[in-house]
Amino acid sequence: MPLNKKVYIGIDGGGTKTVGLICNQEGVILSKSVAGSTNVKSRPEEDVRAAIHHVISELMLGVKEGELSGVFVSTAGGDREEDQLRWRKWLTEVLPGYAGGLEVRNDAYGAMASGTFSMEGTVLIAGTGSIAYALDRSDSRRAGGWGYLFGDEGSGYDIGQHGLRTVAMMHDGRANVDEAFCREVLSFLNLKSAPEMITAIYEDPYARMKIASVAEVVIALAEKQNQTALGLVQHAFLKLSELIDAIEVRSGRLVVCGGLMQSPFFRKGFFEELRESGVSNVFFPTLSPAVGACICALIVNGQSITEERKANLLSSYYVMSG
């Protein structure tokens, strides 16, 4: 850890995992910490608090008093006052005496900055959940982000839920049976029969994440041209496109990120869907939203993102990821 240097923490609080990074004022990423989901709408508060404490404590190892100059949290629900207050409380618990900047905002900011190196533009996040944002200095719009109970269309959860429902309907005789589809979904869950899904899902302590994980096998089957899975993936493309249609694409570029977009097959198919609907300038960032959160931490604390800082962020991130 450099002596007498300012450092900044960026945290990406996702529906499946939370990633924290710490960088110096030159944009060099120094260390990383990973914990479970910090979505307070789907995990017990004590688990979320423990995950936050773990990330901050690990990142602060070796940081001297007075060096930490800014913390930026980009998380689902970060635009809701009650969630901001909880995050601030839990962060200050593990940062006693810290008096620097502390920003808690929604998950658009880290995702946006990972692709634009700024806090303005348009972004679609398609991971465990789904949401689209258009942000600039004077106005902001959002579509989606209503959560898994009555929203998150086109998300990993949505695909997984449709996959499980399809297996159930085939078992009941309410849909034409696709033996390969049923076999692969049940195998993924380590089950032998469809009725076992009831106990496996309803008694799982993190049922939402387990359901979302089923998207992995559905996408893999779609890549193998399984017609049932292709139909579910195409439905997800349509629903994600509807989110984009509901907001204005700003700055001439749409940043697309999230866990689903880590699949080259899914990403390619979705980009083709967007081009057919007239959205052509689509960008998939190579940096993670956690790096984006570090970029936001630098920006809100008065550090401009120069070409040198960009280069440092890119090179140090690739070294750490490799």
State how far the Cα of 22 lies from the Cα of 28, in Å rounded to an integer. Answer: 8
Report phi then psi at 88, rounded to 5: -60, -40
Sorting pLDDT into bands at 50, 70 and 90, what band is 322? Answer: low
pLDDT at 250: 62
State mean pLDDT over 54-68.
Answer: 88
pLDDT at 5: 82
Q: What angle do CA 281, 254, 8 make, to 5 degrees?
A: 130
- pLDDT of 210-220, one tens digit each? 999 999 999 99
Query: Residue 310 is encoded by which pair of tokens?
Result: 């960009």
H, E, C per residue of 142-163 = EEECCCCCCCCCCCHHHHHHHH
Model-level pTM? 0.79
Residue 252 pLDDT > 70: no
pLDDT of 2 > 50? The answer is no
The mean per-residue pLDDT over the stretch 232-254 comes to: 87
Q: What is the pLDDT of residues 256-280, one digit of tens each?
A: 988 899 999 999 999 998 888 788 7
Which residues does 235 contact at the CB level (< 8 Å), separation at least 6? 154, 162
CA 28/CA 36 separation, integer angstroms: 25
The 10s digit of each residue's pLDDT in 159-196 is: 999 999 999 999 999 999 999 999 999 999 999 999 99
pLDDT value at 224 more than 90: yes
Q: Which residues of 28-66 are buried (b: 16+ CB within 10 A; e: fewer)?
A: bbbbbbebbbbbbbbbeeebbbbbbbbbbeebbeebeee
pLDDT beyond 80 at 148: yes
Flag the least confident range among 16-30, 129-143, 232-246: 129-143
Q: What is the pLDDT of residue 292?
A: 93
Cα–Cα distance measured from residue 83 to residue 77, given in angstroms and rounded to the nearest whole number: 6
Q: Is pLDDT of 1 > 50?
A: no
Q: How far apart are CA 111 and CA 104, in angstroms?
A: 14
Q: How far is CA 212 from the centre of its chain?
A: 13
pLDDT of 251: 59
Tell me which of 138 and 203 has the higher pLDDT.
203
Query: What whole-number distance in Å separates Cα of residue 42 and Cα of residue 37?
Result: 9
> Which residues lie below 8 Å from residue 187, measured CB to CB, with a gap of 6+?
none
pLDDT at 3 over 50: no
pLDDT at 139 over 60: yes
Q: Map out the domains of the chain with their CATH numbers.
A: 7-119+286-321 (3.30.420.40), 156-283 (3.30.420.40)
List, in sequence order, every residue forming a beta bridge with 196; answer none if it has no partner: none
* Structure-model confidence comparison of residues 141 and 155, the more confident one: 155
Q: Which residues pair with 8 in a beta bridge?
A: 23, 70
pLDDT reported for residue 278: 80
What distances in angstroms separate CA 219 from CA 173, 207, 216, 233, 284, one per listed residue? 24, 19, 5, 7, 18
Whether the per-residue pLDDT at 78 is higher than 90: the answer is: no
Directed axis angle between helix 207-223 and helix 179-188, to 10°? 140
